[in-house]
Each structure stands twice: as structure tokens, then as C-alpha cells.
Amino acid sequence: MSAKTVLRLLLAVSCTLCFATAAMAQVQPPTKVLTPPGGMDTGLGGGNAISGTVLLPGGQRMQSHVSVRLQTMTKGDRLSVTDDNGVFVFRELPNGSYMIVIDKEKDYEPLRQSVDIRQFAGAPPQNYTLNLRLEPKGSAATKTGVVNADLAKVPQNALASYQKAMQSAQAGKNTEAIDQFKQAISQYPNFMLAYNELGALYIKTNDLDKADEALRSALKISPDGALPLLNHGIVLALKGKFDLAVGELESGLKQKEQSAMGHFYLGQVLANLGRFADAEQHLNRAVALGGDEMKDAHRFLGIIYWRRGERDRAITELETYLKLAPNAKDADQIRQLLSQAHKSP
């Protein structure tokens, strides 16, 4: 197969959700537990994991990146950062006692949560899931009130259903979470955040029509809401409606410029539309914000540079992609392309 043929295959650009791509790319050995994408490998030699979601005082996910530290008794600390949904993961953990620490947030009290991992001989590895709710410092009460404005008018019964749904979703109980989000909406029909989380969950389960419906409902309640704009932009991208997706993603990023995922999907959409210079800008921004979690951004950047004849830059990006996703579906094709590139003058 020639390099041109391989490149044509790679140029079949697809808008695949980052969590889905990561799930396919990272084939977990049987001695390790399946975890959410992203996060960090601790290198401690075990098969267990600790994953969690950082929540604001009102119960919604922390949208900005938060430093989360794993303290061990004898092997030092490991540091991770939450993604755009407030999720963190520490993998490769053996038996032992650990401490999860969040103490670098100026507006919130330090938080410490102990976790004891006990995996008995012959037992499968475990993923220990946490929901960590931050508490505001006394001086941050005003700011916290602004952050939680979307929850201020939510009745307590609807809020309780919403918080249960968030916990179910984090635990991977998608059907249960969907029912609980629907219950929260029935208790409070103007619950924008519940519609948004319901739409995001439908994206995760690849039910794009229901995701579209839920996110349109969220946007009717809050037409300028950054989260439903970004999520609905992703749905439009997955449906191949690239022109419409650009508008929604750009509008969402105007309010939430720090969203690595937003830049990542906008970069993909712009690449599909042939706007490669703009796509390059957003893909590089996604990498700057999201680090190694944005592994597929390197793939798209490699394709863009290859099209422009910038072979050295293309090789660097594609090699980075293979390093981060060695078992990706297109890994063999890319390796073949790189092999031919290294052989040619």
C-alpha cells in the first residue's frame, strides 16, 4: 500500500467522541481494571484504579481543571488534573492505603479523602470511584453563589434526583442515571443542567437523536449556556452537520475558552470543512489545555501538516499519536505511512 493510499484512508476524517476513541485505542490488559479515559498511570505496578468526579458545592461538576494529588505511604505523590467534566483517574495501583488531596483551590477548603485498596489473591482488580464535593471558603461565598446560579431556584427534590443521577453516571450506571435525570426534569421542567447532563449521557451511549432533543431543550431554557452549546455542537458534528456545529462550538467557546474538548471538536469539524489553518489553531489549543488526553488532536494535526507538505511536523505529530494511542484502530496504517516516510528522501 502506497503512502498516498494510506494518507487517503487517514483523511477519512470522523468526529468520534474522545471517550469512545480512547476506549478503542487503549486495550486494557486483563490484569487491569477498566477506567474512564484520560488520567494518569502511576507506575506503581498494580491493576487497580481510583477515579472520581470533583463537584462544586451545589452538586454540579467542576468545569475548570483542578489539581488532584495521590499520596502514597512509601512511594511519594502522584499528580493528576481533572478533565472538562471534573473527572480524574489514577491507574496501576497495588494494595495499600492512599490519600486523595485537593488543596490548591483558592476559593475552596482543602479536601482529603482516604482510600484503602484490598485486592485478594485471584480477585479481579477494582476501580474505586469517588464523588468529591468542594466546600467554599468563607471569603468565597459571593463567588460561589454566582457559580451556582443555575441551581439556585431548583427545588430540593429535583436537586436530590439530579445529584443521584450524577453519582449513577459516574459509576457507569447509565440507564439508572438517565431515569434519574428524567425524574429531576419532571420535578423541575426548567432544569437546564439536568437536560444538559441527560444530553451528554445520550452522547456517551450513542443515542444522538435523544441527545439532540435533550440539548435543544436545555438551549430553550438557556440559549447562551456554554455547556449545552458545546455539547449540542458535538451532536451536530457527529451527525455530519458541520456548518451548524461550527456556530454552536464557537459560541460555547466564547464563554468557556478553557474547554479542551470544545477546541478539539471544533478543530475536527473545521478539518472536515477544509478549513485547515483554523483547524490547526484549535487542535493546538486543545493539546495545550488537555495535554495527553487530547491524543487524537495529534492525529489530525499530522494529517493537516502532511497535506501542506510539512513532512517533519507531520511525522512528529503522528509519532506522538502512536505513543499515546499505540493500539488505535488506525495505528498499523499510520506506522506503515511513517515507515515509508522515513525510507524516502
Longest distance between any two alpha carbons in the chain, whole Å: 68
Residue 236: predicted pLDDT: 96
b/e 304-325 (16+ beta carbons within 10 angstroms → b): bbbeeeeeeebbebbebbbebb
C-alpha cell at 215: 440539548
Is 1-30+259-345's fold the same as 31-136's? no
Residue 41: predicted pLDDT: 82
The CA–CA distances, whole Å, from 321 to 75, 136, 280, 293, 317 equal: 30, 39, 15, 11, 6
Domain assignments of the chain as residue spans, ordered by start = 1-30+259-345, 31-136, 151-257
May I ask the CATH architecture of the domain 1-30+259-345?
Alpha Horseshoe (1.25)
What is the pTM (predicted TM-score) of this model?
Answer: 0.66
Residue 19: predicted pLDDT: 33
Place of cell 460561589: 144
For the chain, what's the residue count? 345
Contact 15, 272 (CB under 8 A): yes
CATH of domain 151-257: 1.25.40.10
331 Cβ neighbours under 8 A, 6+ residues apart: 322, 325
Residue 142: predicted pLDDT: 38
* List of the chain residues with pLDDT < 70: 1-39, 73, 119-123, 138-150, 345
109 residue type, one letter: E
- Nearest residue to 278 (alpha-carbon basis) of 268, 290, 289, 291: 268
Residue 344: predicted pLDDT: 74
From CA 72, how far away is CA 87, in angstroms rounded? 20
Run of H or E residues at 280:
helix 276-290
From CA 194, how far away is CA 197, in angstroms rounded? 5
Residue 161: predicted pLDDT: 93
Contact 137, 107 (CB under 8 A): yes
Fold of 31-136: Immunoglobulin-like (2.60.40)
pLDDT in tens, 81-135: 898 888 899 988 887 778 899 988 888 888 888 887 876 666 677 788 888 988 8
Contact 218, 184 (CB under 8 A): no
* Cβ-based burial of 14 (10 A; exposed 0-12, middle 13-18, buried ≥19): exposed
From CA 214, how far away is CA 78, in angstroms rounded? 38
Running DSSP on this structure, what letter comes out for residue 136? Answer: B
Mean pLDDT of the chain: 82
Residue 129: predicted pLDDT: 84
From CA 200, how far away is CA 273, in angstroms rounded? 24
Contact 291, 264 (CB under 8 A): no
Contact 109, 56 (CB under 8 A): no
